[in-house]
Structure 1
Amino acid sequence: MSNYFEIYDIPESFLLDEKALKNTYYKLSREYHPDFYANEPQEKQQEILQLSTRNTNAYRTLSDPDLRMQYILKAHGILEEGKNEIPSDFLMEMMDINEELMELEFDFDADKFHEIGEKTNGVVAQLDNDILPVLQRYPELHGVTKDEALQQVKTYYLKKKYLLRIQETLSKFAARS
């Protein structure tokens, strides 16, 4: 079973040419359209249906930056269910934000709400900024092995997911106020 990058004949990468990806998706969608195989034997029709489904799944995964990142990390066995450690220094940093969120639950304060939002956005921006060079150069890395780079991306991915939960909590507050 070939991987999603092979289906589109592109190198494994965290940053893709979205337009080229979409063009290839459409090209394959036309190529594997069931209508063109209506007179073929059942076996051939089944095969085309599988290729069509795989094309759709591949596009859905690769066109979404988060799903693409998750896909690459899982493909290399870097991201495993239930075995993903978020660095403790980051969790300590987030503990303050979580405590502030709990306080907002009991006593909503618009200024505090905006302050937490700003702080969270700042952490996300910093994370994005720090990981960008790794994403841009992957897999051609200098001074870092591919495995080390994937570990850095994994840490980024887990932190970002954590921050997303905080941002979702904040947006629930925003809906209430």
Structure 2
Amino acid sequence: MEETVKAPPRRTELQMARSMCWHCQSEVTGEYFCDRCVKVQPLSKESDYFSCLGLPRRLSIDAQELERRFYDMSRAFHPDFFHTKTDTERMISLGNSALLNNAYRTLKDPIQRAEYLVGLEAGSVKDIRSAPPADLFEEILSLQEDLESYREGLAEGPSDKLAGLRAKLDSDRRSLEERQRELESKLFALFGKWDALHQREDGGAAMRADKDAVLKEMREVLSNRTYVRNIVTDVANTLESN
């Protein structure tokens, strides 16, 4: 059965790329389509992924609501519905669809969602520390020495020492995986703190200071998690190579 494009709800308060319709110059204020000429309107490339899907900048998201919003908007903008339209309309539908897909992929994953929000509010978290978290410093140094010894032992062939190193590395990997889960639990607890700030009515400098404190803590947890995850991956790849 051929699917038809249904008119999307009006006054969605989405950030559009233009304040006037590109086709008839009528005012557009957050509608998917122009009220006058019914031409599709481009979403602003400067809008963030939350506003792109009509969501507030909160970290606890209803997965079903997120999916519903995504599919509702995707049906409206899907390029298949614009193959008989003008080049401009086809380009807009492709651009809108790409933006929606990126937004949905990012926001449906809680870790990516947190990284994205911290990036919006406080700068990128991609510059991960080069040193281990303080409480894991000695453990990580010892593990890295064991990794080097294990790699050297692989070239020399099987031995009791190599088997012992492998067993120790596997145990350390499981320990670090547990540490990663603990960091993720701590991160998810911070989701509640961040979202609770949006319920407050005081605002102003006090609100900004509290937001900055939560963002700083989230950034630290995300940084530590990424460092630990990278070490876990390194150990797993080394063990799987033999």
Q: Into which bin does the TM-score normalised by the smaller protein fall?
A: 0.7 to 0.9
> After alignment, is 67-76 or 102-111 more displaced?
102-111
Unaligned runs of 5+ in 2: 1-45, 154-161, 201-206
Bigger helix share:
1
Q: Give the root-mean-square deviation of aligned CA atoms.
A: 2.7
CA displacement at 1:18 relative to structure 2: 2.0
CA displacement at 1:147 relative to structure 2: 0.9
Residues 1:74 and 1:152: Cα distance change in structure 2 (over 3 Å): same
Q: Is the 8 A contact 2:122 2:215 kept in 1?
A: no
Q: Is the 8 A contact 2:143 2:172 kept in 1?
A: yes
- The answer for the alignment partner of 1:29 in structure 2 is 74
Q: Distance in 2 between matches of 1:164 and 1:83?
A: 11
Unaligned runs of 5+ in 1: none
TM-score (structure 1 length as normaliser): 0.83
Residues 1:16 and 1:98: Cα distance change in structure 2 (over 3 Å): farther
CA displacement at 1:28 relative to structure 2: 1.2
- The answer for the alignment partner of 1:122 in structure 2 is 178
- The answer for the alignment partner of 1:156 in structure 2 is 221
- The answer for the alignment partner of 2:31 in structure 1 is none
- The answer for the alignment partner of 1:172 in structure 2 is 237
AA partner of residue 123 (structure 1): R
TM-score (structure 2 length as normaliser): 0.63
- 1:139 is paired with a residue whose SS is helix
1:103 counterpart (143, 146, 149): 149
AA partner of residue 83 (structure 2): A
Larger Rg: 2
Q: Distance in 2 between matches of 1:83 and 1:166?
A: 13
> After alignment, is 50-59 or 113-122 more displaced?
113-122
- The answer for the alignment partner of 1:136 in structure 2 is 192
Give the number of aligned pairs: 177
